[in-house]
Chain A
């Protein structure tokens, strides 16, 4: 039970925190002004010079292995609906770590996405 909680923590919190770190690195690089693939690749390459990018990838790797571990222990129809909580963690993290303005409207949308994702997986069987 305790190890299940630890694995879910890694998937939901550590995984989302990793994406938030990658997002922070990309925000530090700044908007890719030109809407062209070479400009996008340039922005990503510059982001690799920022430590948040590497921290983010390390955390995402931990979350990936935790997901594999959890899938080996439980059904996907149980694991994925629980991981839909990542959207809530993402919104809290976006507000706290990236200074985003998460309005009531956005919260309503995020809640619906969480419920919808959980239903998608519950309906898989």
Chain B
């Protein structure tokens, strides 16, 4: 049982990481790019200058780091957890985006949106009560037995 509890805990932690890193990366990138604006023209010198601005923007770098964090946590959790568990659970991102929008960007979040977020959270809670992993490593090429699944 301890193994199953450890598996569940590390799955939760990595899903928490990916639902935080994803929207934070998007937010930082979007803020960084808005600060820089668009290139003045298509002339090579203007594009070079624009590229230099993008590559020296701390917000763009922080956004890129957060996106790398998202990619690492997403692919890592898929090394043991079911895709049909992780993919819908990652929809918690929508809640984080709304919270960031409301409290950091001061956006108004419509009631329909909050209702949708609550429904997503209920859905994720229901999924969270299923076993995070129902398969054995693919290289062993066999399906788990009912006992193995129940043990998780």
- Give me the interface of A with B, judged by CB distance under 8 Å: 16, 19-20, 22-24, 26-32, 35, 37, 40-41, 43-44, 47, 86-87, 90-91, 93-95, 98-103, 105-106, 108-125
In the complex, what distance in Å separates the CA atom of A103 from the CA atom of B113? 28
Within 8 Å of chain A (Cβ to Cβ): is B129? Answer: yes
Mostly, the A contact residues are helix
In the complex, what distance in Å separates the CA atom of A110 from the CA atom of B87? 9
Mostly, the B contact residues are helix
21 of the cross-chain contacts (CB-CB < 8 Å) are A22-B75, A22-B78, A93-B84, A98-B82, A102-B84, A105-B129, A110-B84, A112-B120, A112-B123, A112-B126, A113-B127, A116-B117, A116-B118, A117-B91, A119-B112, A119-B115, A120-B120, A123-B110, A123-B111, A124-B110, A125-B110
Q: Are A109 and B83 in contact (CB under 8 A)?
A: no
Q: Are B115 and A110 in contact (CB under 8 A)?
A: no
- Give me the interface of B with A, judged by CB distance under 8 Å: 10, 13, 72-73, 75-76, 78-80, 82-85, 87-88, 91, 94, 98, 109-131, 134-135, 137-139, 143-144, 149
Q: Which of B114, B128, B130 has the most CB of A within 10 A?
A: B130
Q: Are B126 and A115 in contact (CB under 8 A)?
A: no
Chain B neighbourhood of A30, CB < 8 A: 79-80, 137, 139
In the complex, what distance in Å separates the CA atom of A95 from the CA atom of B85? 11
Chain B neighbourhood of A27, CB < 8 A: 78-80, 135, 137-138
In the complex, what distance in Å separates the CA atom of A84 from the CA atom of B14? 22
Min CB distance B150 to A, Å, is 11
One of B72, B91, B112, B139 near A28 (C-beta < 8 A): B139
Chain A neighbourhood of B80, CB < 8 A: 27, 30-32
- Tell whether A94 pairs with B84 under 8 Å between CB atoms, given A31-B137, A123-B113: yes
Chain B neighbourhood of A108, CB < 8 A: 123, 126
In the complex, what distance in Å separates the CA atom of A99 from the CA atom of B137? 11
